[in-house]
Structure 1
């Protein structure tokens, strides 16, 4: 089936403009003519639809995400199939993925990073409580809107406890750069596996690059299993450094076991930066901010932090996106980040 602006799916969803393109599908801004509201529609590509495994992943995403309701999870509204084209209807999130923010700003202030991580933890905890492991937590799947509110997207490789695996023996799921060691070894995902991915994001956001890079995805996965985590620069506060170290333990039993456990540590941490953390509570409300240890704006920064830290939020209007994978490059993005290896 040919998909283009003006295509109507399910007799009610009219595609307006293309937002993002991923490995399995395209994401469109669309209008729900029945309820008269804007939505995002993820359409599975013809090549992916012909692949039974991709189609099952797409169906899993619809089934798993549809049962999750929380302010920090992008809501799935509908699922359908038209002339062999599978599509998923989601709430339209006016924001941009964290990957684009990191591409532009290189690093984040600690309180802002902690807030984004806490928001993500709240959404992941709801998914885990429902028996759904995301298995592909990464900056491209975290949409950040005004006020640094976070929506988790793309449960395409997630797995519910009552589902059979879609992988063959020896295969792993997820993105290599954020893959927990146990997943790289082909072991089942647990809440601690998603927590590990948050540790990689935290490392990347304070250093300016990921801890493990290599020429291939396989080599990166092996590094997660065997290589020690590189030392953090002295510019990182002691509390946050301890948290990142603990979250990136190779043994999942030594990590914070749940996203809520990580959120609580972030909330009580003494951080360096210019703003207080605004952690979202389990009910989506505001949580108490941790004590903040300020440092002078003229304090020297340790070399190797990956770039100049940008304080405050951008005043730029964020592009609308519900991107399930890495967001398309922005025309004004700064080309200073390390290759993604």
Structure 2
């Protein structure tokens, strides 16, 4: 998107950038007609059905402008400029609640109640006017310099996230605040805002959301299946009333939550006496004794000096002894540079590097079709490609506002990309241009694979799509589950497996026309599956779970590891060697058909999402921070 700083659009002089996101850029501008500062949220509309988008956008902006409340950011109107569309809003001089929490970690209970009362007044008012926010989170709550709370993006998200123009989240962060019904793709009403308010209260008090993990799938599993840790356990001494409020807001069943914001306000008023007492203690702080403080400072300085000399001794004496011994050799196997070394010296690591792609959006999948050419897809329609063996990456857009989940490319240039909200697109030239294929609405699509000319897509609500004509047409296959399915793997032309939520494993013996669930062997989500041949296969998933079969999938045994982080992808390199990646930069490697796994140390602590291997055997791993890890292998000696 063009940098607009210094430009004049209608009567607005663009001054600076206030923030950037997946949907566009927010600028600070000066309204020369009314001599006031405004905020302008600029979005690109080149990517969608432009007229339909503009009509809907204007209609929702007009409706939003009818919301007049002191705790809701005012919308003044909209502008169009050279293919861009902008919403002109009230400029709020202050900080987001997200920033306040980041700076303070936990907020005082007096501040929490003060803030959330204003949030409830604003959201309750908007609900009474028929508006549902759908994206309440600390970054959309602003505190101005006078202490007034302002809710942002009210109604705008409703416009953009409709069935025609839709996006659930730009980053994993938003998933922290999504209700179970949002995650499942069900229709949502004002009760989804009640859930998000409960999450926000929890984070203000505890310092993190109730379901906090690196993996998007672990977070979603928490919202869908797990009970949050009660506030009274996470924060001893919290008032029982506040504990009950948050607990009820976070009920999985929407009908079990508070039905209106004023119900929560009524419960908060029951705490008025407690808050008055807290407020008096909050502002009556005991003054420090200068003389005592001076003594403490002298003692602290002495301890610091003594600690320095102890550290010097350790570095020069103890570390020296360690370097002269052979002890470090024992740790060599945990270094990523020895990833492919073994007694047979089949392969060794030439170089490992983290590549900055220039994108700050999460990357969900990647594929190399040759040593030189590779492609990735990710959040906010991110689409990257490289033609120099992954050294540099060019960023482009697939002209939609969906999160893109997976891709499949043929050497001929025929390509497919899938994503949220039934997004399926096909290209004949590696997406220099493409066409969107029509499938049934209401699904998120997670993975796509081809076996020769037969294609399969796994998605939400038990969806498996099959194509027998190279991807031109797709038909829904029969499955006996409504659970989300994340990956499909064929071991021959007739037999395949699919894995998904709550330990579901489906099997087909008729080339994917019908799929039947196996007897469950875990309740953890299963994220990816791969086979070395018709007998040896591995599944990985939630909480570090790994399962292996040696008989073609008839029986699965759990492989014991010390990992607790979610695992996202498995790639079998040959009948012996396998690699798994997951949350917090986890890389696991096996040299014995998946029986034992070693953890490889890296300096990347983001969520690693997908593995691709080039023709020459170099390994590429995508991550949620927009970077790519490249592992170059030396040639066999």
TM-score bucket (shorter structure) = 0.7 to 0.9
1:253 aligns with 2:255: yes
Residue 130 of structure 1: CA displacement?
Answer: 1.5
> 1:183 and 1:2, CA in 2 relative to 1: closer, same or farther beyond 3 A?
closer
Distance (whole Å) between structure 2 residues aligned to residue 215 and residue 3 of structure 1: 32
Q: Is the 8 A contact 1:96 1:145 kept in 2?
A: yes
1:220-241 CA-partner distances (Å, limit 9, x unpaired)? 2221010111132213121211
The equivalent of 1:312 in structure 2 is none
Distance (whole Å) between structure 2 residues aligned to residue 102 and residue 58 of structure 1: 32
Q: Is the 8 A contact 2:41 2:88 kept in 1?
A: yes
Distance (whole Å) between structure 2 residues aligned to residue 293 and residue 61 of structure 1: 46
| TM-score, normalised relative to structure 2 | 0.40
What secondary structure does 2:5 align onto?
A: coil
Residue 275 of structure 1: CA displacement?
Answer: 4.9
Q: Is the 8 A contact 1:272 1:293 kept in 2?
A: no
Distance (whole Å) between structure 2 residues aligned to residue 91 and residue 237 of structure 1: 36
What secondary structure does 1:178 align onto?
A: coil
The equivalent of 2:16 in structure 1 is 17
Q: Is the 8 A contact 1:61 1:154 kept in 2?
A: no
> 1:251 and 1:216, CA in 2 relative to 1: closer, same or farther beyond 3 A?
same
Residue 55 of structure 1: CA displacement?
Answer: 5.0
> 1:61 and 1:102, CA in 2 relative to 1: closer, same or farther beyond 3 A?
farther
Q: What pairs with 1:77-226 in structure 2 (closer than 5 Å)?
A: 77-155=76-154, 156-158=156-158, 165-166=163-164, 172=168, 175-226=174-225
Greater Rg by CA = 2
| Relative contact order, higher structure (CA 8 A, sep 6+) | 1
> 1:108 and 1:141, CA in 2 relative to 1: closer, same or farther beyond 3 A?
same
Q: Is the 8 A contact 2:53 2:165 kept in 1?
A: no
Distance (whole Å) between structure 1 residues aligned to residue 281 and residue 91 of structure 2: 37
Distance (whole Å) between structure 2 residues aligned to residue 51 and residue 208 of structure 1: 38
1:138-166 CA-partner distances (Å, limit 9, x unpaired)? 00000011343111002332269xx9634
Q: Is the 8 A contact 2:192 2:254 kept in 1?
A: yes
- Higher fraction of strand: 2
> 1:293 and 1:263, CA in 2 relative to 1: closer, same or farther beyond 3 A?
farther
> 1:166 and 1:130, CA in 2 relative to 1: closer, same or farther beyond 3 A?
farther
Distance (whole Å) between structure 2 residues aligned to residue 166 and residue 118 of structure 1: 34
Residue 114 of structure 1: CA displacement?
Answer: 1.1
> 1:55 and 1:274, CA in 2 relative to 1: closer, same or farther beyond 3 A?
farther
1:6 aligns with 2:6: yes
The equivalent of 2:64 in structure 1 is 65
Distance (whole Å) between structure 1 residues aligned to residue 75 and residue 27 of structure 2: 14
1:273-294 CA-partner distances (Å, limit 9, x unpaired)? 8655xxxxxxxxxxxxxxx999
Residue 216 of structure 1: CA displacement?
Answer: 3.1
1:268 aligns with 2:267: no
Distance (whole Å) between structure 1 residues aligned to residue 260 and residue 177 of structure 2: 17
Task: Give the number of equivalent residue pairs.
Answer: 279
Residue 189 of structure 1: CA displacement?
Answer: 1.8
Q: Is the 8 A contact 1:138 1:197 kept in 2?
A: yes
Distance (whole Å) between structure 1 residues aligned to residue 186 and residue 199 of structure 2: 19
The equivalent of 1:319 in structure 2 is none
Distance (whole Å) between structure 1 residues aligned to residue 86 and residue 159 of structure 2: 19
Distance (whole Å) between structure 2 residues aligned to residue 249 and residue 207 of structure 1: 18
CA RMSD between the two structures: 3.2
Q: Is the 8 A contact 1:79 1:89 kept in 2?
A: yes
Residue 65 of structure 1: CA displacement?
Answer: 2.3
The equivalent of 2:556 in structure 1 is none
What secondary structure does 1:108 align onto?
A: coil
Distance (whole Å) between structure 1 residues aligned to residue 32 and residue 205 of structure 2: 44
4+ runs deviating over 3 angstroms = 51-61, 163-168, 171-174, 270-276
Q: What pairs with 1:284-303 in structure 2 (closer than 5 Å)?
A: none
Q: Is the 8 A contact 2:106 2:205 kept in 1?
A: yes
Q: Is the 8 A contact 1:42 1:88 kept in 2?
A: yes
Q: Is the 8 A contact 2:140 2:153 kept in 1?
A: yes
| TM-score, normalised relative to structure 1 | 0.73
> 1:2 and 1:234, CA in 2 relative to 1: closer, same or farther beyond 3 A?
closer
> 1:207 and 1:21, CA in 2 relative to 1: closer, same or farther beyond 3 A?
same
Distance (whole Å) between structure 2 residues aligned to residue 179 and residue 23 of structure 1: 17
Gaps of 5+ in 2: 287-605, 608-623, 625-637
Residue 78 of structure 1: CA displacement?
Answer: 1.2
1:208-255 CA-partner distances (Å, limit 9, x unpaired)? 111112333343222101011113221312121111111111111111
Residue 76 of structure 1: CA displacement?
Answer: 0.4
